[in-house]
Chains A and B, each alone.
Chain A
Amino acid sequence: MATIKEKEQEVIEEFELFDDWMDKYNYIIDLGKALPGIDESNREDKYLIKGCQARVWLLAEYKDGKVMYSADSDALITRGIIALLVRVLSGQAPADIVEADMSFIDRIGLKEHLSATRSNGLLNMIKQMKLYALAFQQKN
């Protein structure tokens, strides 16, 4: 299994292929469409991440020392970005997730989605993923 850093590098290299933002966003939209998402029955308030313009649900389970995430959103661009986060962090050990700096988001030019004007949706998403990891780490 590739490390978080290796996966981040993979994503960065993929995004280097795009010359303009339009192609990049079309790709993010495709990623959003391809994300399996979550069961309708799990679209519950307790899985909802607060502070997002779009609604974002995040679930996590702990299997064989790794954290497995699944997530969903009602906005496609948000879904695409979530797909990237899940791809990088899912299947990793809690300690590594807690430590991850997630600098690839900046490198692929999506930093604006981290700014306060975006209601901190992505930041809250990352925070929540790390909180799950932290909880699993402390439980075990």
Chain B
Amino acid sequence: MPIHTDTLRKAFPILETKVNGRPLVYFDNAATTQKPVSVLERLRNYYERENSNIHRGAHFLSQQATDAYEGARKTMQSFINAKHTHEVIFTRGTTESINLVAHSFCSKFVKAGDEILISAMEHHSNIVPWQIACREKQAELKVIPMDEQGELCMDAYRDMLGEKSRLVAITHVSNALGTVNPVKEMVGLAHEKNIPVMIDGAQATPHMAVDVQELDCDFYCFSGHKMYGPMGVGVLYGKEAWLNQMPPYQSGGEMIREVGFKKTTYNELPFKFEAGTPNVADVLGMETAIQFILKLGHQHISAHENDLLHYATGQLKQLDNIRFVGTAAQRTSVVSFLFEDIHPYDTGTILDKLGIAVRTGHHCAQPIMDFYQIPGTVRISLAVYNTRREIDVCMDALTRVREMFG
């Protein structure tokens, strides 16, 4: 069913917030989305009626909570179409998922002189873990360049894949530019040389259907809170063959089979990578968020968000001195821009005063700002509950900004 925002918005009480007496316009969805009532109720219900530690107690509540948690794993598996349930590892979020791969994959498969490939448009969380891993292993971090539009240079990428390449770690969708990268093609090229690929999917899963078997990627990371779910929970998908060979990331309870003071054996997948009491409530909340997305339907979400994206771009074009940052042919849900004559921080301050929540600055992707030689951008990032009316309100506010500073 096509998206009806009037009905849909009722599920998000926070959208009724007033800021300085004006209705909130929430355009910071790439940072985190708001949560529907169904997710909030799921969290409450868990703590009110189901709370118990899982996988160990033999009692009723523990059994029930374990079933719910493992049921959520199945939901994640089918959401990304993973081959096996045990290929879904629950983490604190995309950042932790990437750190897990950077630590466990690199400690086993990377040695001095090897290379890890990332791209010029990565979020800091897909740069720094690799820098640290490379420093430890005396490996080299190589950066796939991008062009002025914010598209990766595929020719350069082909040339960079070589004997020494151990892993490619790239973002599916750029948080700062909205570029949708040709990840399937990139995986194919890397696999021709037997190089595995990890995809940072934090900005993709809220907006498009992801099929990890179709992509054939080796690892895929995403977060609950960017897709209408709770903060502090996310997923690492990894192909069984890789995960089985990788050593544990953290250690403690859950991830062990037998512990002795001389020797400990580790549990099987997925528990090997889930040390300690898991975040059951938020995993269940994330499951409910996925059900919310599936009920709306990916094709309807995309249709609505693309309509907004085109409408916003068309409107913004009418403003004087506007410069769009990131004009890739394939983009989703993000418009990044700045006025040539007004600092993004000034624009953001006035928008905030007018009730409009946008992100200004470097969006945790400083290398991108260095590339364009700009101090930062103003980023409008859209979600399924946003409306054309809100874009109009934002346009009025931006016109006011131009009057004040222009």
Q: Are B404 and A54 in contact (CB under 8 A)?
A: no
Contacts of B41 in A (CB 8 A): none
Q: What 0/1 readout, one digit per residue, does chain A (50-88) give for beta carbons within 8 Å of chain B?
A: 000111000000000000000000111110000000000
The answer to whether B20 and A21 touch across the interface, beta carbons within 8 angstroms, is yes
Given contacts A25-B404, A53-B360, contact A74 B353 (CB under 8 A): no
List residues of B (377-406) whose CB comes within 8 Å of A's CBs.
Answer: 404-405
- Which one of B343, B353, B404 contacts A75 once the chains associate, using CB atoms below 8 Å? B343
Q: Please, which residues of chain A bring their CB within 8 A of the CB of B349?
A: 25, 77
Name the interface residues of B354-376: CB closer than 8 Å to any CB of A. 360-361, 375-376
| CB <8 Å contact, B350 and A54 | no
Q: Cβ of A53 and Cβ of B405 under 8 Å apart?
A: no
In whole angstroms, what is the CA distance A26 to B376 when docked? 23
| Given known A21-B353, A53-B360, contact A76–B405 (CB-CB < 8 A) | yes
Judge whether B353 and A78 touch: CB under 8 Å: no
Query: Residues of B within 8 Å of A, CB-based: how many?
Result: 15
A87 to B405, CA, bound (A): 23
Residues of A within 8 A of B320 (CB): none
Residues of the A chain whose Cβ atoms lie less than 8 Å from the Cβ of B342: 76
A119 within 8 A of B: yes
A119 to B404, CA, bound (A): 23
Give the chain A neighbours of B344 by CB distance below 8 A: 53
Within the complex, what minimum Cβ distance (angstroms) separates B362 from chain A? 8
**Given A21-B353, A77-B349, A119-B361 in contact, is the A54-B343 Cβ separation under 8 Å?**
yes
Min CB–CB distance B397 → chain A (angstroms):
12
Q: Which of B342, B343, B353 has the most CB of A within 10 A?
A: B343
Contacts of A119 in B (CB 8 A): 361
B346 at the interface (CB under 8 A from A): yes
Q: Does A29 contact B (CB under 8 A)?
A: yes
Residues of B contacting A75 in the complex (Cβ-Cβ under 8 angstroms): 343, 345-346
A-B contact pairs, 18 of them (CB 8 A): A21-B353, A22-B353, A29-B404, A53-B344, A53-B360, A53-B361, A53-B375, A54-B345, A54-B346, A74-B343, A74-B375, A75-B343, A75-B346, A76-B342, A77-B345, A78-B343, A78-B345, A119-B361
Across chains A and B, which 4 residue pairs bring their CB atoms closest together, nearest first? A75-B343, A75-B345, A54-B345, A53-B345
In addition to A29-B404, A77-B346, A78-B345, 9 A-B residue pairs with Cβ atoms within 8 Å of each other are: A29-B405, A53-B345, A53-B375, A53-B376, A54-B346, A54-B375, A55-B375, A74-B375, A76-B405
